[in-house]
Structure 1
Amino acid sequence: MGRNVGDFPLEQLREYKPELTGRPADFQAFWAGEKDKMKSLRANVKARRREYPVPSVEVSDLLFESWDGTPLNGIFVKPAGVEECPVIVCFHGYTGSCGLAADYLKWTALGAAVYSFDVRGQGSSPDYARYRNGSRITGWMLNGILDHENYYYTNAYRDAILQLQWTRSQEALVTPSSFGVMGSSQGGGLALAAAGLGDGVDYMLSDWPFMIHFERALDIALQGPYMEVVNYFKWNDPQGAAADEVKKTLSYIDSLHFCDSITCPALMAVGLEDNVTPPSTVFAAFNHLGSVEKEIEVYPQFTHEMNGFHEEKRLAFTAKQLNKTGRDLT
């Protein structure tokens, strides 16, 4: 059974590997320069331990002052009493937040600690960046859309670089014995970017990721954040005068352009009825991954939604990466 709604048949999706013709010539140099800038900074992070009713875990609220002074709220959950353990950084979806401690207990059950931070401007965190363009369309996709060096997601990627740097530093709240990144939708795109930008990422999970293969996504997505860009042209620039500038900006944060540099084990997932992050964009990312060990789970009847069946797959994959046994899943 293999339904497809508005995209290629599954057999074609499995082979879909578009040429990276839209990747800027200075893409690698640009992000190498941004990583160097972040390495010169020391993150100011405040952690406040809180009482929690589950005695097997310790929970702390975080305030992460990012590279431009933006204070980002976060949460840290770890198995009680440990000073060294596997670490996972979880990225949340569009309009989401760093989440609740209860969201991460499945990972602490595997013996891992979890960091999660609000994406700037989302959750309960502000965004101190100033953007030179306005728009009649609401949402974060258009903030700075005409300037790739001060685009909203360029700034969010800088945050992620600094966060990964801090979580592996001596100032972090636990010493990582291994390091993974994960997320769904917006979080899936951020996980791919983090795996491509971060040093020493041991494994990556990315489900129905957003910010992937804009060239196709903007043509076929019918709902969700991609439509902010589509509607920007409709209401702000109906004849596409700024199309080249917008395309250039998005090319620097397109997570597809990081995929061939990702070599760690990877698990991805796709719903074949997803018209928010179309299946072809997800398969483009998967097929470009440089990883030898990689899997993609396909769910024919699923749209862009939570998937409890896949959560079991995520647990099994992560347990394997942590060298756990089957009893850790109980």
Structure 2
Amino acid sequence: MGRHVGDLSLEELKVYRPELKYKPNDFDAFWENIKAKMDGENPVVRMQARKTAIPTIEVIDIEFESWDETPIKGMIVKPKNVDDCPTIISLHGYTGDRGLPVDYLKWIPLGLVVISFDVRGQGSSPDYARYQNGSRVPGWMLQGIRNPENYYYTNVYRDILLQLKWIRSKDCPLNPTILGLTGSSQGGGLALATAGLDKNIDFVTAELPFIAHFERALSVALSGPYLEIVNYFKFSDPKYNTYEEVLKTLGYIDCVHFCNSITCPVLIASGLEDATSPPSTVFAAYNHIPSESKFIEVYPQYKHENIPLHEEKKIEFIMDICRRNM
């Protein structure tokens, strides 16, 4: 059934569960140390109500001063005069941003709150981290690539851990009764990694997740951010002398390496024509998730793009979890 342009067949994908040979031996200790440090941080958060033409919602703009004082822009979109309700953290795609209130209106009539932050350095938020390497290739994939402790996505994960701490604190103007993660592409990979880092997440939806199974992605991806790394080798290291060093850094942030810790309900989507997040990298993540409630929807003719039908399935999935936890 279906198409599988440049990747494994659907039958092969269903059983594709690769060995995690680039998962570092000290992976768990590395992240436990970072989580302990983030537990000791207290972010400075500034909030401002935004005027909106829609009388049934409230919008709150956020400036979140993260662990290294990077001011990250965020937003809360919520039903008016409702503070105790299911909450979705929306994580955006590569080069994207936190979005606009209109992007989240479908959740408001269902009684849900959406919180969305820029990823540092993307959207309208800066990145105050200092990286020790430059690059001929534009983008964020190579920033700090030889230093796992100060790699770009290590810092992004730090931000998300601190944001979760704040959302659950008395300083946040919400009281999430259920807390879930949703994202596509970069956001999908971040959602899966975060669910592996935080055992108290209630659900995850991840469409076309990126940041997954790098050793495979670098071999088969034909477009998108993985090519930043491919082109690094082409222009700066054509003999691949630093390949093992680069894969070691990526091993600490590869969302597949977090998946064996995910026990909450998970819904994933994959397009069989996706050359940016190749299906084999998506199934590698899915097949390493031990959750007893996990589902993957496959769309044979979709590339790396919005899948309207899947939006309906995502709403059904999340609302079913909300009903069962009322």
Question: Under TM normalisation by the shorter chain, which class is it?
Answer: over 0.9
Bigger Cα displacement from structure 2, 232-241 vs 295-304: 232-241
Matches within 5 A, 1:12-91: 12-91=12-91
Output the aligned Cα RMSD.
1.1
Report if the CA contact (8 A) 1:94-1:185 is conserved: yes
Deviation at 1:199, TM superposition (A): 3.9
Bigger Cα displacement from structure 2, 223-232 vs 44-53: 44-53
Which secondary structure does the structure 1 equivalent of 2:297 belong to?
strand
Partner of 2:3: 3
Report if the CA contact (8 A) 1:147-1:245 is conserved: no
Deviation at 1:254, TM superposition (A): 0.3
Which secondary structure does the structure 1 equivalent of 2:164 belong to?
helix
Partner of 2:131: 131
Partner of 1:327: none
Work out whether 1:94 is the aligned partner of 2:100: no
Structure 2: which 5+ runs fail to align? none
Report if the CA contact (8 A) 1:74-1:115 is conserved: yes
Distance 2:241 2:271 in 1: 35
Work out whether 1:317 is the aligned partner of 2:317: yes
- 1:248 maps to a residue whose letter is K
Matches within 5 A, 1:211-230: 211-230=211-230
- 1:203 maps to a residue whose letter is F
Deviation at 1:43, TM superposition (A): 1.2
Work out whether 1:163 is the aligned partner of 2:190: no
- 1:227 maps to a residue whose letter is L
- 1:115 maps to a residue whose letter is I
* TM-score, with structure 2 as normaliser: 0.98
Structure 1: which 5+ runs fail to align? 325-330
Partner of 2:193: 193
Report if the CA contact (8 A) 2:99-2:116 is conserved: yes
- 1:261 maps to a residue whose letter is S
Q: Deviations over 1:134-178 (max 9, x none)?
A: 111000001011111100000001001101111111111210101
Which secondary structure does the structure 1 equivalent of 2:323 belong to?
coil
Deviation at 1:125, TM superposition (A): 0.4
Distance 1:288 1:18 in 2: 9
Q: Deviations over 1:198-225 (max 9, x none)?
A: 2410000011100000010000000000
Which secondary structure does the structure 2 equivalent of 1:109 belong to?
helix
Which secondary structure does the structure 2 equivalent of 1:105 belong to?
helix
